[in-house]
Structures are given as structure tokens and as C-alpha cells.
Structure 1
């Protein structure tokens, strides 16, 4: 007698599979869709209206007002010294991101100070800046350094560049470049600085004419600080002696490379080179 084994698989002895269930409730699906729409709307509104939170989101054009205001604060804090405004500088070619080029905007104020008083002047400037900038001066291996934060990712610095020379700087860092900042403006409104510059040129035996460039900034308390600059290839053989009467015999700085004085409330800074002489006359801000 023989037997035949049954074909096929034996039924499973485990529990039956669970039911698939009825699915998500309609109210939960509707709530999820509404929440996604709300998030999308908030994101769109924030992108269009909220202020940038990182430097890479702020363009060069957006930084210009802050930079100009910072220069005005520096000029007011440096009142009582002999200084000149320098033209704006734009450095191209930096990287905002690995995939986007940008540019850096810088502005400077050049100060002429008595020898060995550079640190004291930097400290006085730091004390005159807004308290929110947290300005301070520290001594480094390269000399005293001023550091401050003007807000909106704009930095302020100051350092000694030579004996009797201090440079105050404002910088944006690398930004998307969407503006060209003019460093030369055609024509200028005559003021006390033009009179002082004409007097200096006359003392050097040069006929006064249009300045080679002029730079201005709005002061924190109103008014305008302005620098007129002239670059001469010929002048008196001894500029220091020729300008001494205008300085009243007591210049702020008198070296072979620099002669600085104040005349009728105008700061006059004369840079002396072998092949040229650069004159800058500046009216400033009230401290």
C-alpha cells in the first residue's frame, strides 16, 4: 500500500495580516495641505520683506548709506585734527559664494597727527563714536589698532600708516556688486575749503583752478564735510617755508614728507613727493 504526499504549501500557522485600514481622515489631509500652503506663503513674504540676516544677502548698493554715515561719524569724532577724505574704492573679484563674484567698498579718512600721538588720537576717535559700535583700541605687534562695528556688517578700523599718519577705514566686506560708486564728481560748490586751497596754491606759486577731485560726506548732526584735492607736478622749492605763514608758524605736522596745518577753520594737508606735491583742503564736522 502506498501513499501520496499532498502537493502545494502548508497553510501558515501565524496570525493573519492586519487590515489595511480606512486611510487618513479627510480633515487630516486638509490640515496638512493648509499648513504647507501657509509655510510657502510665509517663506515668500519673508524673502521679499524681511531684512537680510547675513552679509551675502546685502548688496553693495544697500551698504553705501551705512558706509557714508560711518565716515561722517569718524570725521565728527576726529574733529580737532588735520584730516582729509579719500575717494571711495571698489575692489572687484572677491567671492560672495563659491559660485558668485562680488566687490568690496572701502572709504578712508587720512589724519595728520603729531609724532608719538597716534595711539592717543585713535583712542580719542574711539571714544567719540556711538556706544553701539563697541569701539576700542588695542596694542598689537604692528602698533595700535582701532576696531568698531558700524552695523549691517560694515566694519570700522584705524591704524598708524607712518609717523604722524593715521588712517581710519570703513569696509563692507564682499557683497554682490550692483552699483558703481563715483570717486570724482564734476564741478563743486565753492566753500571755505576752496578759499584755503587757493591760498595754499598761491603760497606755492601756483595759479588756482578746478580741483582734481573732491569728496564729501554728510555729518551726523547735519552739514557737510568736504575735501578738495590738487595734484601738482611743480611747486615752490621749499613748500614748508612757503606755507609757514598760513600755518601761523605752528603746523600740526612738519616733516620731509608731510606738512599739515589749520587755517581759518580749514584743515590743509600737503603730501610731499620727489616728483609731485598733493594738497588737500578739508572742512569737517562739529565734534
Structure 2
């Protein structure tokens, strides 16, 4: 059921964060629950999905996915195949929880952990967020550079690391406001961004990776600290 699969999904996200490496991890996505699917013709269910964003320069996507697959637990039987739209990572995190990864075409690959449709049971309960760390300060600095109001309490997304501790992402989504430009983030990036493919811009500051998606109607920022090791 969904409540039983939830911890498997969270642990899988932590494994992916570790396999991506602290320098390659861009973002942890929050849990997304879609209800209304059918487990049987007579029983409704729901599915849980979480995503992990990873740095992958154009042309390096297969190598990045293959490296992640090699660093995942052997029991996952992870591998990379050639799909219709390019390389695809596929793995089994256990308990019929699937893992897939594909390039997004903008300097990233997206890894998805998916339970498929299941009975809800008592429902999914995310692990309590850990105390804020350097990711929150990095997020505030990026918001200030973009002349955007900071969230009083940005969304904090976490995943347990296999060796202990947590990978963490602080997220902020702002609606209409002053026109923003990635040029305002260049000083924070030391003029050496990891990704500069508008509207996507990413850079590293200390142990934190900051990802910005700047559109005409909204600005989304995420600051992430990965798993040690």
C-alpha cells in the first residue's frame, strides 16, 4: 500500500542523491500524490512520485546516467538503455517501486521514483523536515540578488542518505514581480555557472547547488545540499 511504499520511495531518493554525487545533484523534488487510479475495477488507489534533478551537460547525458546506475545498489539491477528520445536509466528500488531517468534537454537529467497505482492504506506521511542548513542561506542570497521577496518559510524537501543524515532542498516559487535576469546571479556563481541555458541557470556556492528557473511570469529557485560520500 502507499503508506508501506512511501519509506521505500524516500530511501530511493536518498540513494539517487548519493549516486549523483554532491557536485552533480541539482534538486530533490517533493512528493507528488495522484489519486483516482484503479487498483481493481472495484477499488480506487493512488500513486506516489518523487523526482531528482541531476547536472548533465549536453552530450554527457548517457555517461551521467551510466555513472549513476553503476553507483546504485546491485539489488536495483540498474542499467541504461537507448530509448526513443535518448538514453534511459531503469531500475527497481524494491517493493515494485520503479526508477527511471531521462535527459530533459537543458543541461539536466530527471530521475523519477514511482510507486505505480496502489491501495492508499493509511496514506503517505513524509519524514519530518530536518533543521535548515546552508541551503536556506544560499536560497535567501539568490532571492536577494534577484530582488525577489524571500519566503518566510521556504519549502524544505529532504531524503535520508544511505550513510546517515539527510540530503536537503530549500525551494521557493515567486509569482509576478520585478523583471529578473540570470545576470544578477553571476556574481554569486563567480561567473562560472554549472548550467546557463535560459531559463535555467545553476551554480555552486560552497556545499550548496542553486538552481534557478526564471520565466516571465514566475521565478523558481532551489538550493540543495547532497549526501556526503
Query: TM-score w.r.t. structure 1 length?
Result: 0.74
Residue matched to 1:85: 28
The question of whether the paired residues in 1 share the 8 Å contact of 2:5 and 2:97 is answered with yes
Deviation at 1:140, TM superposition (A): 1.4
Is there any run of 5+ residues in structure 1 with no aligned partner, and where? 1-58
The question of whether the paired residues in 1 share the 8 Å contact of 2:6 and 2:125 is answered with no
Q: Deviations over 1:138-189 (max 9, x none)?
A: 111211100001111111110112331211011112111123436797x862
Question: Once structures 1 and 2 are overlaid, which stretch shifts more, 63-72 or 89-98?
Answer: 89-98
Q: Deviations over 1:59-116 (max 9, x none)?
A: 1111111111111000000112141111111111222122211111111112243222
The question of whether the paired residues in 1 share the 8 Å contact of 2:180 and 2:214 is answered with no
SS in 2 for 1:274: coil
Q: How many residue pairs were aligned?
A: 228
Separation in 2, partners of 1:145, 1:212: 32
Which one of 90, 95, 102 corresponds to residue 159 of structure 1?
Answer: 102
4+ long deviations beyond 3 Å: 179-185, 234-238
Separation in 1, partners of 2:149, 2:130: 18
Superposition pairs of residues 13-52 of structure 1, within 5 angstroms:
none
Relative to structure 1, the CA distance from residue 274 to residue 207 in structure 2 (aligned partners, 3 Å threshold; closer, same or farther) is closer
Which one of 41, 44, 47 corresponds to residue 98 of structure 1?
Answer: 41
SS in 1 for 2:104: strand
Which structure shows the bigger proportion of residues in helix conformation? 1
The question of whether the paired residues in 2 share the 8 Å contact of 1:184 and 1:215 is answered with no
Residue matched to 2:58: 115
The question of whether the paired residues in 2 share the 8 Å contact of 1:82 and 1:260 is answered with no
* 1:232 equivalenced with 2:167 (yes/no): no
Decide which structure has the larger Cα Rg and report it. Answer: 1
* 1:63 equivalenced with 2:10 (yes/no): no
Is there any run of 5+ residues in structure 2 with no aligned partner, and where? none
Superposition pairs of residues 251-266 of structure 1, within 5 angstroms:
251-266=193-208
The question of whether the paired residues in 1 share the 8 Å contact of 2:6 and 2:126 is answered with no
Residue matched to 1:76: 18
Residue matched to 1:140: 83
SS in 2 for 1:225: strand
Deviation at 1:203, TM superposition (A): 1.2
Relative to structure 1, the CA distance from residue 229 to residue 183 in structure 2 (aligned partners, 3 Å threshold; closer, same or farther) is farther
Which structure shows the bigger proportion of residues in strand conformation? 2
Residue matched to 2:228: 286
How large is the Cα RMSD of the aligned pairs?
2.0
* 1:203 equivalenced with 2:149 (yes/no): no
Deviation at 1:236, TM superposition (A): 6.0
Separation in 2, partners of 1:238, 1:70: 35
Per chain length, whose mean CA-contact separation is higher, i.e. which structure has more relative contact order (CA < 8 Å, sep 6+)? 2
Relative to structure 1, the CA distance from residue 235 to residue 282 in structure 2 (aligned partners, 3 Å threshold; closer, same or farther) is farther
Residue matched to 1:248: 190
Question: Once structures 1 and 2 are overlaid, which stretch shifts more, 63-72 or 227-236?
Answer: 227-236
The question of whether the paired residues in 2 share the 8 Å contact of 1:82 and 1:113 is answered with no
